[in-house]
Structure 1
Amino acid sequence: MIKFKWVYNNDEINFGPSSLDNLRNYLNNVKKVIIATGKTSAKASGALDDTIKILKEFNIQYAIFDNVSPNPLSSQADELAKIIVSYSADIIIAIGGGSVIDTAKLGSAVAANGGKTIDYLYNKRKVEKIIPVYAVNLTHGTGTEANRYANTTDTERGDKLGNAICYPKASFDDPKYTLSMSKEEVLCTTFDAFYHAYESTTTSGSSPLVQMLSEEAAKQIKENLPLAVQNLNDVNPRYYLLYASMIAGVSIDLNPTNIIHALENIMSGLVPSLPHGCGLAIIGPLLAPLIHKSSPNESTKILKTLNPDIKPNSDPSIVTKILTEFQSSVGFNKKLSDYGFGHDMLRESIRRAFSNPVVADRLRNRLYGVNIDEKVLINMLENSI
């Protein structure tokens, strides 16, 4: 496992074993830090203790904000922003997966520019400056440590969506911190990375660079996810899943996701007990035929990493079969109902998606030549319950 550093859009990404040691390089003149975390993962992974140890070496004061939940709310980012301001924090260190890092980005934007989190979700305010965010990543799914996006649930409307907010000042990807994840977390976060790769490649405007990064991410997931679930204590496949997640995170920074992410964000915003990556894995295979129809060549390139027999003109049912069989092969066979999600909630999610102007635009305009409406999605997703 090679340790390396690279810079993407001024985000210095420190990758590999003991990468958190490099945090020391960013602490000159820092006096006060807010550490943002969830309730358990930062402690369980060991990353919180390691971070605090480094801060104490520099005699830096710190306060911990541990009120970030899975599928977080915009009100949590607003709460974090108030604490950042009242504490006069110089920087924010986010220790967690996508929920924590995204909340830190949003909290930074609100603390530095004013307003509320939802102002930035709906482009009512622009991010002109930030309190620097340092991301200690604990999962191999979102890729948010490498891109500018942040997702949260609009507390007022109940809709989850994301927008471009800011890049971290630096991030730290050490695979050992992912070993505390459960099997389901390993699966679901990795599926998030896979669908980042698949959707960024097939969204209109995709470039050869996006396609190259996404194919490599899909290849690494195909090879290493089975190894990771066979032995949850083996750090080697986690290194490559973390790498896949990171480069897929860059892929969506260069070209966004489309219908699977747009709709699932609404679903897990409505029912927070539905893990985002699991929701993607449940609806993804059922929606992929639409994507394959829109971008057959690009879709084929990604799906060939799972099954070399796929062709641009393959029957749509083959696309669903390939994705379902891969997910089943690593032990994922869940339905939405396993997470307390019923038919009424499905219809409500789709209604909300089309009534939210930001989400509706993403559903309708990110795929070439495909007409998507509420009835089409309801019919396609009935078998997901």
Structure 2
Amino acid sequence: MQKFGFFRNPTQITYGMEAIYQVENIVNEQQFKNVLIITDPGILQTDLISKLQSQLENVNYKIYGKTQPNPTVSNCNHALAMLKEVEADVLIAIGGGSSIDVAKAVALLATNGGSIEDYEGIDKFNQELLPLIAIPTTAGTASEVTTFTVITNEEEQYKLTVGGIRLAPKWALVDPLVTKTLPPSITAATGLDALVHAIESYTSKAANPITKTLAREAIRKISANLRQAVYGGDNLVARDHMMMGSLLAGLAFNNTRLGNCHALSHPISAIYGVPHGVTNAIIIPHVMEFNAVAVPELFSDIAEDMGENIEGLTLMERAEAAVNAVKKLSKDIGIPESFADFNIGLEYLEQMSKDALLSGNIEVNPRITKYADVKELYKKSIEGTK
């Protein structure tokens, strides 16, 4: 039996409908004077920015709105330059995980200097970060409570991960209402990403009783509500459960890390630009099949949490039911079953396999994974689904 490890959550979370309107209270209480808002072009076209602006009438602010879906080193550098112009004493990130990840990187660079590449790894920085208010607009990445940021080095086609307890946002305003108008395709991709977070956290070697409880509840909420959120975007009950499921999964994997699926997905996104959630959705069945023989009892739990009828089945049949449940959910919400639409081949197989093995997620995957295993998982994900 594994010893209890630890559980940490350095972020103050405000959860609920219209939580976005807590920005003004934080700014006033902390007496912030200069604000940099970091977001993306899609959010700029919504009314969410005006909801922020109405709360910042008494402060000086600028908006950086060019964050890319797979955020880059260039995004971080440009946002940092704008931060220096406005002399910001606080950052507000509003958007998906990409905007929040850029904001984390900028918060780090503002006080530690250098370039974000200098800090790849865990706890490679010494100074406290600039305060960050994170407002997620997707029920997916949970970057608003995690202690990591993932940034793409475009020149090297490589996703680098920076981690550390101080990297977590100081405040997270988690408001299900802001996801109401999220397009079905993004709802689907980010929701599947959240489910993968929960599955990989639950089966992680670093899991403990607290993280397992959070992960299982996340699996139940997401699997029971993702279809409704995709096909009925104005269903606030489904949106609420999805946002809470994403948050719970984030709190879990922030303490356990993830697994092979995320390790393999990052190189594909870095090289081919495939959306992170879609990449995970395509890879996860193959990773689950690989892992099921190592921890079938855990996959049996996942099948049960996803509503599968497992009565009378053997342990391995119950584990297989979990894999099939994830496949069916992905298909039902329109996630591609393969990489066929993305023109992905095996020309970068060696590079992707080496990059994947650099991920700390491989270490906590429930089944020991070697270089040959990674290559085979890539082949099954790419060739096996053509």
- Which TM-score applies when normalising by structure 1? 0.89
Deviates more, 1:357-366 or 1:202-211: 357-366
SS of residue paired to 1:30: coil
Does structure 1 residue 130 correspond to structure 2 residue 103? no
Partner of 2:192: 191
The equivalent residue for 1:220 is 221
Q: How far is 1:357 from its partner?
A: 7.8
Name the residue aligned to 1:3: none
Q: How much has 1:316 moved relative to structure 2?
A: 7.0
Aligned partner of 2:244 in structure 1 is 243
Deviation at 1:156, TM superposition (A): 3.6
Classify the secondary structure of the residue corresponding to 2:56: helix
Match of 1:257? 258
After superposition, the C-alpha distances for 1:4-43 in whole angstroms (9 at most, x for unaligned) are xxxx733111111111222222113211000101012244
| Structure 1: gaps spanning 5 or more residues | 1-7
Aligned length: 370
**2:361, 2:221 → 1: CA distance?**
28
Q: Deviations over 1:326-384 (max 9, x none)?
A: 2223333442122x23223xx51x42233338625543663344545244224422223
SS of 2:133's partner is: strand
For the residues of structure 2 that align with 1:86 and 1:73, how far apart are their CA atoms? 20
The residue aligned with 2:201 is 200
Q: Could you tell me which residue of structure 1 aligns to residue 38 of structure 2?
A: 36
Give the drift of 1:269. 1.1
- Partners of 1:312 and 1:114 in 2: CA distance: 53
Q: Which residue type is aligned with residue 207 of structure 2?
A: S
Aligned-residue sequence identity (percent) comes to: 24
* Contact 2:119–2:162 (Cα < 8 Å) also in 1: yes
Give the Cα separation in 2 of the matches to 1:15 and 1:342. 39
CA distance in 2, matches of 1:287, 1:198: 11
**Structure 1 residue 313 and structure 2 residue 316: aligned?**
yes
Alpha-carbon distance, 1:202 to partner: 1.1
Amino acid in structure 1 at the alignment position of 2:82: I
Q: Is the 8 A contact 2:278 2:336 kept in 1?
A: no
Within 2, Cα distance between the matches of 1:217 and 1:362?
Answer: 20
Aligned to 1:27, what secondary structure does the other structure show?
helix
- Tell me how far apart the structure 2 counterparts of residues 106 and 235 of structure 1 sit (CA, whole Å): 32
Evaluate the alpha carbon distance shift between residue 174 and residue 43 of structure 1 in structure 2; reply closer, same or farther with a 3 A threshold: farther
Match status 1:70 vs 2:69: yes
Note closer, same or farther for the CA distance 1:302–1:320 as it changes in structure 2 (3 Å cut): closer
Alignment of 1:1-385 (within 5 A): 9-28=9-28, 29-44=31-46, 46-56=47-57, 59-122=58-121, 125-165=124-164, 166-272=167-273, 274-306=274-306, 307-309=308-310, 312-314=315-317, 318-338=321-341, 340-344=342-346, 347-348=347-348, 350-356=349-355, 359=358, 362-363=361-362, 366-373=365-372, 374-381=374-381, 382-385=383-386
Select between 225-234 and 244-253 the one with higher mean Cα deviation: 225-234
Tell me, in whole angstroms, the C-alpha distance in 1 between the residues paired with 2:242 and 2:359.
32
TM-score (norm 2): 0.89
Distance 2:288 2:162 in 1: 23
CA distance in 2, matches of 1:126, 1:355: 26
- Gap change, CA 1:216 and 1:333, over 3 Å in 2: same
Amino acid at match of 1:167: A
**Structure 2 residue identity aligned to 1:327:** S
Aligned Cα RMSD in Å?
2.2
Distance 1:180 1:129 in 2: 36
CA distance in 2, matches of 1:320, 1:299: 8
Q: Is the 8 A contact 2:121 2:163 kept in 1?
A: no
- Cα 1:371/1:314, change in 2 over 3 Å: farther
The 1:357–1:337 alpha-carbon spacing in structure 2 relative to 1, beyond 3 Å, is closer
Describe the superposition over 1:48-87 as per-residue Cα deviations: whole angstroms up to 9, x where unpaired: 111110001xx10001111201011122112222322332
The one-letter amino acid paired with 1:151 is V
1:353 and 1:78 map into 2 onto residues whose CA distance is 26
